[in-house]
């Protein structure tokens, strides 16, 4: 049986979530080229405040999301997940940086766990389903990949916010660059490289 499940996201103008390309390549080169982890964290923050009623995660008007405010928010997030020469290329860096952001805002009930890309596809499939079914967005890191079809996601952080099962195949909805794209998860997960990225798993401690 075919199944499709998508989380509510949010639009900023016509953009699905924020975009690192909004930052100037001249004056804000780091965020423009390497700000994907910070953008992912910004989108997650807005999501949890908007749909889980958490407070103090987004310091601007939640009911009137604008590009201008989002750019300011990204600069607030930047010191926690600052673009570096090798990028935010390990799950632990994201956990540390975004964890500090949450603690600085006295958010203690949003837990995060790393999920390595070394896990097998079947387990990863079930894990993604469980997260989406629970209403949680899934920050995802893809490093190198042998399939050029995924070149937009090389060495990149993005959010999975939906899944679909169609004709026995499993697809995920990847949100980045202001759009959502459906990707074959089996092909995405099998990068062909020994060093892999992975997922960040959320859980709200009630």
How do residues 183-192 score in pLDDT, each as one tens digit?
999 999 999 9
- For residue 206, the model assigns a pLDDT of 75
- For residue 2, the model assigns a pLDDT of 87
pLDDT of 91 above 90? yes
8 Å CB contact between 113 and 159: no
State the average pLDDT over residues 90-102. Answer: 98
Give residue limits of the domains in the chain: 3-204
- For residue 178, the model assigns a pLDDT of 96
pTM, two decimals, is 0.96
Which uninterrupted H or E stretch holds 4? strand 3-6
Between CA 174 and CA 181 the distance in angstroms is 5
∠ CA 201-35-58, nearest 5°, is: 65
Tokens of 4: 């499709």
State the average pLDDT over residues 104-114. Answer: 97
pLDDT of 33 above 80? yes
How do residues 138-173 score in pLDDT, each as one tens digit?
999 999 999 999 999 999 999 999 999 999 899 999
Percentage with pLDDT > 70 across the chain = 99
Choose the CATH number for 3-204 among 1.10.3470, 3.30.2400, 3.90.70, 3.40.50: 3.90.70
Tokens of 26: 């001249």
First to last CA, the chain: 33
């Amino acid at each position: 049986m075919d199944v499709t499940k998508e989380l509510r996201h949010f639009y900023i103008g016509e953009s699905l979530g924020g975009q690192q390309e909004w930052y100037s390549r001249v004056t804000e080169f780091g965020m423009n080229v390497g700000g994907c982890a910070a953008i992912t964290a910004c989108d997650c923050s807005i999501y949890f405040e908007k749909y889980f009623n958490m407070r103090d995660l987004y310091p601007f008007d939640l009911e009137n999301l604008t590009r201008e405010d989002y750019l300011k928010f990204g600069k607030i997030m930047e010191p926690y997940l600052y673009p570096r020469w090798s990028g935010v290329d390990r799950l632990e860096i994201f956990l540390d940086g975004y964890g500090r952001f949450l603690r600085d805002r006295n958010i203690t009930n949003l837990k995060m766990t790393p999920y390595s890309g070394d896990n097998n596809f079947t387990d990863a499939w079930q894990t993604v389903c469980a997260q989406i079914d629970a209403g949680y967005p899934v920050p995802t890191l893809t490093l190198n990949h042998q399939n050029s079809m995924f070149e937009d996601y090389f060495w990149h952080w993005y959010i999975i916010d939906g899944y679909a099962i169609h004709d026995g195949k499993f697809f995920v909805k990847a949100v980045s660059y202001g759009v959502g794209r459906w990707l074959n998860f089996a092909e995405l997960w099998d990068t062909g490289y020994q060093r892999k990225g992975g997922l960040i798993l959320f859980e709200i401690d009630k």
